[in-house]
């Protein structure tokens, strides 16, 4: 499969768009795809970084003539100046560099300056188009849209902006995080309850020097007991000043693009940072955060995260003072958020987002799905599946399950000889569902659920079928039994397709199958 990615980085745009596309590209490459980047050479473009990761980068040049083309295009987008030329010129240049290997299976677009007009032109070289967005303020002519932002009703944001048949992936469950965060997540519960170490990170560039403001706040005598790790990128224009600040504050260290970034996050008890991509990285590692929004598009979802207790929003960069940061740090020390944040963040960010998106673009074959036994590391995965809204709706007990309840239940079931839990996964080790058997004499009571990314593909039948085969191999029981609410016709079809007999009682179906 051939995948092209059109994305830019620059001193003005920042690095977040390109970095999340790089993460997605690596997930595609892991599944055997050929991935090529198309990037314009703005100041701070990061093309060399992409190349060091092993990807081809096709560079689009910048020029004064390109800039003048912007005046010829109407209506203009709010971020049109980020492109460095008009959409029509950019579209023609992109088509020219892609046409030799056309058609491309997928073209991924992550750019605020491109809308449905540009994407319509790309149909000449791409079979399908995926858009990564979080503004929800322009039309997209695409087949798949990803918005990893946090909103209570995210689907309403794109009404009237997408084609009727466009699929959507909405919410931080699809956040494009590097694999290292998925691995580091296993250790996030080692963090203590108090706050002794603070991480400061406002992205690679931080032109407003919010890092310096945070260091000034943390240098207050009342906070002098804290250990501070400030992280910046190599192109930070304030590096000399920040270095001097760090040297004047015992316990403060300045790190310039450190290799052990996730390790610093795991060691920290609190982070002071911006509201961009690192929001999802911090939530993945259950790191309590004081967030200062540095762009308007960060404000709405940051406000919702604050309202739901997942972060503390200090304010917009133009409104925040040193005193505000100092006050919020002290409040966080007085009331540590770590315990509450851990169970809440489990429902939203687990580090598997890039693999889920890649599964949508390069789907696994139904015949290649397999089962493995559940292990202790699956506790948060099963917590999410158990609290998925559709799962709760189809359950006989519909109340949300608390983390404490789930933790006690999972540990008891995992250690019990009367329960078996199996996880279905793709060949690329993405977990996509679970099937559980609770033994009662010679009968096994079955229940199952699918990850949202796996629904609508006939995988429920495959999941139950694989589970039945495992039970047959064990020889433990003679009968499998499942109960389904009448309001759940999808599960009814699964059992009937696999030859279960049906009995109707009150508001539920009971399905039984004899194991030969």
Segment 155-196, tens digit of pLDDT:
899 999 999 999 999 999 999 999 999 989 888 877 777 899
Q: Which residues pair with 443 in a beta bridge?
A: 440, 479
**Same domain flag for 208 and 326:** yes
Greatest Cα pair distance, the chain, in angstroms, is 79
Residue 76: the pLDDT is 77
Rounded to whole angstroms, how far apart are CA atoms 161 and 429?
A: 34
**Same domain flag for 26 and 142:** yes
Residue 443: the pLDDT is 96
Provide the percentage of residues in the chain whose pLDDT is more than 90: 79
Is 356 a domain residue?
no
**Same domain flag for 281 and 368:** no
Beta strands in 89-217 (DSSP E): 104-110, 126-132, 144-147, 167-170, 197-201
Residue 71: the pLDDT is 58
**Same domain flag for 382 and 486:** yes
Is 140 a domain residue?
yes
- What is the bridge-based pairing of β-strands 443-450 and 104-110? unpaired
**Same domain flag for 395 and 449:** yes
Q: Which of 104, 135, 170 is the last residue of a domain?
A: 170
Residue 196: the pLDDT is 94
Residue 194: the pLDDT is 86
Q: Which of 151, 170, 189 is the last residue of a domain?
A: 170
Q: Kindly indicate the confidence band of residue 55, based on its pLDDT and cuts at 50, 70 and 90.
A: very high
Interior CA angle at 147 toward 146 and 151, to 5°? 145
CB within 8 Å of 459: residues ≥ 6 apart: 366, 369, 424, 432, 433, 450
Residue 372: the pLDDT is 97
Burial zone of 285 (CB within 10 Å; 0-12 exposed, 13-18 middle, 19+ buried): buried
CB within 8 Å of 513: residues ≥ 6 apart: 468, 479, 480, 481, 495, 498, 499, 500, 501
Is 331 a domain residue?
yes
CATH number of the domain enclosing 261: 3.40.50.2000
Residue 186: the pLDDT is 83
Q: What is the pLDDT of residues 351-388, one digit of tens each?
A: 999 999 999 999 999 999 999 999 999 998 999 999 99
Q: Which of 289, 317, 345 is the last residue of a domain?
A: 345
**pLDDT at residue 74 greater than cutoff 60:** no
Mean pLDDT value of segment 280-288: 93
Rounded to whole angstroms, how far apart are CA atoms 164 and 159?
A: 10
**Same domain flag for 9 and 47:** yes
Alpha-helical (H) ranges within 87-161 are: 87-98, 116-121
**Same domain flag for 339 and 222:** yes
Q: What is the pLDDT of residues 21-46, one digit of tens each?
A: 999 999 999 999 999 999 999 998 99
**Same domain flag for 466 and 409:** yes
Mean pLDDT value of segment 439-447: 95
Residue 11: the pLDDT is 83
**pLDDT at residue 338 greater than cutoff 60:** no
Report residue 1 as tokens. Answer: 């499969």
CATH number of the domain enclosing 35: 3.40.50.11190
Residue 366: the pLDDT is 95
Residue 513 in 3-state DSSP?
A: strand
CATH number of the domain enclosing 447: 3.40.630.30
Is 287 a domain residue?
yes
Find the domain containing 468 and state its range. 363-514
- Is the N-terminal amide bond of 75 cis, ω within 30° of 0? yes
Q: Are 381 and 347 in contact (CB under 8 A)?
A: no
**Same domain flag for 426 and 318:** no
Kindly report which listed range (189-198, 210-219, 485-494, 504-513) carries the lowest average pLDDT score: 189-198
Is 112 a domain residue?
yes
**pLDDT at residue 75 greater than cutoff 70:** no
Is 219 a domain residue?
yes
Q: Kindly indicate the confidence band of residue 70, based on its pLDDT and cuts at 50, 70 and 90.
A: low
Residue 476: the pLDDT is 86
Give how far Cα 237 sits from Cα of 47, 48, 209, 243, 407, Å: 20, 20, 8, 12, 47
Mean pLDDT value of segment 442-469: 95
In whole numbers, what is the pLDDT of the chain averaged over residues?
A: 92
Is 355 a domain residue?
no
**Same domain flag for 293 and 405:** no
Domain count, the chain: 3
**Same domain flag for 194 and 307:** yes
**Same domain flag for 22 and 131:** yes
Q: How many CB atoms lie within 10 A of CB 21?
A: 26
Residue 340: the pLDDT is 57
Is 455 a domain residue?
yes
């Amino acid at each position: 499969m051939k995948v092209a990615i059109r994305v830019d980085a620059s001193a003005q745009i920042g690095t977040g768009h390109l970095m999340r596309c790089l993460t997605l590209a690596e997930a595609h490459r892991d599944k055997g795809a050929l991935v090529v980047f198309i990037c314009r050479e703005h100041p701070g473009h990061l093309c060399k970084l992409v190349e060091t990761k092993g990807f081809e980068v096709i560079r689009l040049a910048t020029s004064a003539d390109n800039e003048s083309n912007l005046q010829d295009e109407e209506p203009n987008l709010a971020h049109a100046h980020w492109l460095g030329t008009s959409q029509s010129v950019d579209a023609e240049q992109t088509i020219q560099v892609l046409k030799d290997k056309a058609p491309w299976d997928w073209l991924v677009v992550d750019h605020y300056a491109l809308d449905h007009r540009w994407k319509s032109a790309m149909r000449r070289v791409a079979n399908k188009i995926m858009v990564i967005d979080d503004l929800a303020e322009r039309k997209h002519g695409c087949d798949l849209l990803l918005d990893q932002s946090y909103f209570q009703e995210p689907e309403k944001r794109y009404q009237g902006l997408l084609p009727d048949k466009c699929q959507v992936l909405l919410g931080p469950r699809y956040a494009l995080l590097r694999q290292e965060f998925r691995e580091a997540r296993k250790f996030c519960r080692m963090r203590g309850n108090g706050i002794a170490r603070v991480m400061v990170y406002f992205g690679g560039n931080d032109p407003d020097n919010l890092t310096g403001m945070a260091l000034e706040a943390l240098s207050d005598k009342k906070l002098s007991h804290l250990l501070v790790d400030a992280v910046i990128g190599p192109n930070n224009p304030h590096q000399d000043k920040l270095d001097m600040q760090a040297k004047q504050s015992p316990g403060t260290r300045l790190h310039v693009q450190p290799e052990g970034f996730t390790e610093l996050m795991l060691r920290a008890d609190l982070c002071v940072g911006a509201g961009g991509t690192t929001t999802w990285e911090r939530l993945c590692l259950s790191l309590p955060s004081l967030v200062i929004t540095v762009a308007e598009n960060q404000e709405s979802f940051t406000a919702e995260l604050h309202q739901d207790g997942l972060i503390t929003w200090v304010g917009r960069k133009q409104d925040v003072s040193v005193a505000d940061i100092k006050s919020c740090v002290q409040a966080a020390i007085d009331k540590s958020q770590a315990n509450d944040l851990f169970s809440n963040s489990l429902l939203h960010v687990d580090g598997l987002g890039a693999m889920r998106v890649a599964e949508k673009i390069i789907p696994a074959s139904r015949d290649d799905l397999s089962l493995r036994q559940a292990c202790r590391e699956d506790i948060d995965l099963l917590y999410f599946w158990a609290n998925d809204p559709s799962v709760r709706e189809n359950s006989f007990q519909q109340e949300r399950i608390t983390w404490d309840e789930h933790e006690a239940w999972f540990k008891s079931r995992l250690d019990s000889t009367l329960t078996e839990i199996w996880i279905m996964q793709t060949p690329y080790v993405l977990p996509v569902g679970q099937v559980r058997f609770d033994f009662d004499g010679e009968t096994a009571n079955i229940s199952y659920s699918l990850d949202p990314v796996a629904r609508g593909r006939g995988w429920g039948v495959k999941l139950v079928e694989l589970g039945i085969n495992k039970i047959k191999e064990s020889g433990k029981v003679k009968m499998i039994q499942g109960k389904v609410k009448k309001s759940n016709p999808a599960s009814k079809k699964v059992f009937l397709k696999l030859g279960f007999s049906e009995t109707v009682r009150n508001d539920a179906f009971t399905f039984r199958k004899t194991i030969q």
